Amino acid sequence: MRALFDGHLLTVLVFLPSAAAALLLLFPERRARAAKAFALAASVLELGLSIPLWTRFDLASGTFQFLEKAEWIPALGISYTIGIDGISLLLVLLTTLLTPVSLLYSLTHVEKVRGEGPTRT
């Protein structure tokens, strides 16, 4: 699996949540529990994919790491470039850790009540 994402790990981490959210649109409303479980599984996968960022990050380097660059529209000089530094590494890890934690909490604590709008206090 490491070879599969080696050159594109950051791109996968950026676009996996959007792909998972698009798949969540296919879940019928009566399958809310399954949709929550799918969202949790996708976020745990995202957390697992972010671990190599931590283990393979070179703290001694002051440059961007895991750099990906691809020409997108060369005629217009547009390219796709993504990389990570030490501060953004911590923010990515924090996000990928807190997302499954919050989704796990929502499995049992968040419910939709039909026919009721927002309440005012």
Q: What is the tens place of the pLDDT at every residue in 73-107?
A: 999 999 999 999 999 999 999 999 999 999 999 88
pTM value > 0.95: no
Query: How far, in Å, are 20, 23, 60, 77, 97 from residue 9 at the CA level?
Result: 16, 21, 21, 24, 17
Q: To the nearest 10°, the Cα dihedral for 116, 118, 119, 121? A: 180
Segments of the chain with pLDDT less than 70: 1-6, 112-121
Q: Which residue has the tokens 């039909």?
A: 114
Give the integer Cα–Cα distance in Å for 97 and 38: 16
Type of residue numbered 37: A
Angle, CA 24 vertex, CA 21 and CA 30 arms, to 5°: 150
